[in-house]
Structure 1
Amino acid sequence: MKYPRYTSYEARLGLERLIVFSDIANQIGADWEYVAADENRLDEFLRVYEQEELTVDEKFTLMIIIVSSYEEWLRMKKTDKEKDEWPRIVAHLEHEYKIHRNTVKYWSVLEESDLEDVYRVTPQMREIEARFRAVPRRKSR
């Protein structure tokens, strides 16, 4: 099976059948999945991910929206407490890592060593990435 590297228009249409996005998001073409993020709707997005029958492309795209929403929350938060939804996000990223590998790598910003120049979620994403890098891969025959 081939796993997605980029979002697709078909995935966007599929998600728009399940979620009403903001007018601004609906007017955007490129980077729609980042504009559709909303830290106040994180639980709603997770419920759709957990309860609806989604295609691999829809899961990939929705997880980008979910992580982007969590990033927004981290930027806006007034506390050091981790948001309640983070363990659910991690569970999905790890359980379906093959689908979300590119999302984890994107938010991990592995090429940047200065944490002042990365996303707020980067340290947490690097922990996920490190766990999967440590797992030996089967060699192809």
Structure 2
Amino acid sequence: MAKWLAKSEPDECGIDDFAQSPDSVIPWDGVRNYQARNFLAQMAVDDEVFLYHSSCKHIGIAGIVKVVRDAYPDPAQFNANSPYHDPKSTPEKPRWQAVDFAFVKKLPRLIPLDELKSLPGLEQLPLVRKGNRLSVMPVSEEEWQTILQQV
């Protein structure tokens, strides 16, 4: 079972959206970066994912979700009314992937980026490396445990 981190703006889809409907499945779509898309394609059912709130007042890791459906073609790419529409993508040759997430837990406190940057053992985590803006990234088991110890 792999570990991941996915960034989201909490006013679009945050940990509270998952927590309000703990039995609900939320599609993780709209990712339009090729490297992040490739990471989505590697996700498997039951992989755990840190949900990271970004582009907001309080940024950091807010909770944990899990993958409940393997990668599939992102339906938004085919919808001309979607902000994630891609006219170059076809059902026969989809360019973008989505996965489905479900709620696991909200952390007792948000773990802010500044704190994550200061933790020994996280130096290679793409989130804390300068210039990395990926919305989806792998997290090693050691990094996962280091982060969980901060809760």
* Shared fold (TM-score, shorter chain, > 0.5): no
In proportion to residue count, which structure has more helix? 1
In the superposition, the TM-score normalised over structure 1's length comes to 0.31
Higher strand residue share? 2
